[in-house]
Structure 1
Amino acid sequence: MSRALNGDGVKDMILLQGKSATESAAYFWGNITKGVQDSTKSALMIDSGRRVGTGTFKASKDFAKGDLICGTLCCVSVGCETVSGVLVWCPIPGKVLTVSLLKATSMGCQKFRDLCTADPSSPLC
């Protein structure tokens, strides 16, 4: 049964299924919200994967040069990104805060590593 998706067609379809307009609207917005959540989780996981690849490459270069500090910073970054990429999909309390802290730690380690590589004369490096 094909009906146009205009106001009357949608109203008739809802009434034929025996659902109230409120229940139907709740399903609609619930599906929209779930779609947005899943898209956001996927985007975070893709970003984590990209950062894991970059961090692994930088760590291998640093360890090959014998730079243990920068290599370790990259390993910490890779670990944080891996955990955050998995936690995004787990239903745990405090997930947003945990993933945010992991991402911030990862980005901080990478930034510090990049600064150390650019200026190895720094006393911190």
Structure 2
Amino acid sequence: MQALGSKSKRLLDDARRQTQQAESEIRQKEAELQREQAKLASSQSDASMLETEVTRLRGRVQDLDSALKAAQSDALAELPGASLAGQAVLYRRKEGWVWSLKRWAKAVDPTHSRKQSQI
């Protein structure tokens, strides 16, 4: 009988020890989860701030682009032969904005291309 009692006691002690280990692991995993959640919240906050900054910069680029187009339009209007200046084509390349005034130059001075080849 006593053998059964000591065996039950050992089983009960083993069960308690395993329960304590499991509870300890649970606490460790919960602490790890909280740390990961804090990191995630920080990352989301950083991402939100970056998204706001990107939006602000896109707006600034649009404002600058509009100002550039207005300045270019004003510059075209001030060119000699302004009525012909409307034929100038503005296009964009990797290097930036480039003026294509070939048609305008030929209209103002038909010998323009010949003068360039002589130079």
- Name the TM-score class by shorter chain: 0.3 to 0.5
Structure number having the greater strand percentage: 2
Larger radius of gyration between Structure 1 and Structure 2:
2
TM-score, scaled relative to structure 1? 0.42
- TM-score of the aligned structures, taking structure 2 as reference length: 0.44
